Amino acid sequence: MSLTARFSCLNEYDPDALSVDQARTFIRSQLTPVGTHERLALRSALGRVLASDVIAPFNVPAHDNSAMDGYALRHAELSCNGASRLLVVGTALAGKGFAGSVGAGECVRIMTGAPLPAAVDTVVIQEMVQADGASVVVPAGQRRGQHIRLAGEDLAAGKPALVAGRLIRPADLGLLASLGCAEVSVHRRLRVAFFSTGDELCSIGTSLADGEVYDSNRYTIFGMLGRLGCEVLDLGVVRDHPATLEAAFREAAAAADVVITSGGVSVGEADFVKGLMAQLGEVLFWKIAMKPGRPMAFGRLGDGAHSAWLFGLPGNPVAVMVTFYQFVRDALYALMGADPLPVVPLLPAVCTAAIRKAPGRTEFQRGILSQVDGRWCVRPTGAQGSGVLRSMSDANCFVVLEHDRGQVAVGDQVQVQLFDGLV
Phi, psi of 362 (to 5 degrees): -90, 135
Same domain, 51 and 179: yes
Phi, psi of 223 (to 5 degrees): -65, -45
Same domain, 24 and 80: no
Determine the Cα–Cα distance for residues 416 and 294; give it in Å rounded to an integer: 20
Residue 27 covered by a domain: yes
Determine the Cα–Cα distance for residues 256 and 305; give it in Å rounded to an integer: 11
The percent of residues above 90 in pLDDT, for the chain, comes to 80
Residue 9 covered by a domain: yes
Q: Are 291 and 400 in contact (CB under 8 A)?
A: no
**What is the pLDDT at residue 4?**
62
Overall pTM > 0.85: yes
Residue 341 covered by a domain: no
**What is the pLDDT at residue 278?**
80
Same domain, 219 and 254: yes
Same domain, 257 and 237: yes
Reported as a pLDDT band with limits 50, 70 and 90, residue 344 is very high
> Does residue 142 register a pLDDT over 70?
yes
Same domain, 144 and 163: no
Same domain, 107 and 139: yes
* Residue type (1 letter), 348: P
Closest CA to 235 of 258, 212, 208, 267: 258
Same domain, 43 and 32: no
pLDDT in tens, 286-329: 789 999 998 898 999 987 667 899 999 999 999 999 999 999 99
Phi, psi of 7 (to 5 degrees): -75, -35
Instruction: Work out the number of other CB atoms within 10 angstroms of the CB of residue 31.
Output: 15
What is the residue range of 91's domain?
A: 65-149
Counting every residue, how long is the chain? Answer: 423
Phi, psi of 175 (to 5 degrees): -60, -45
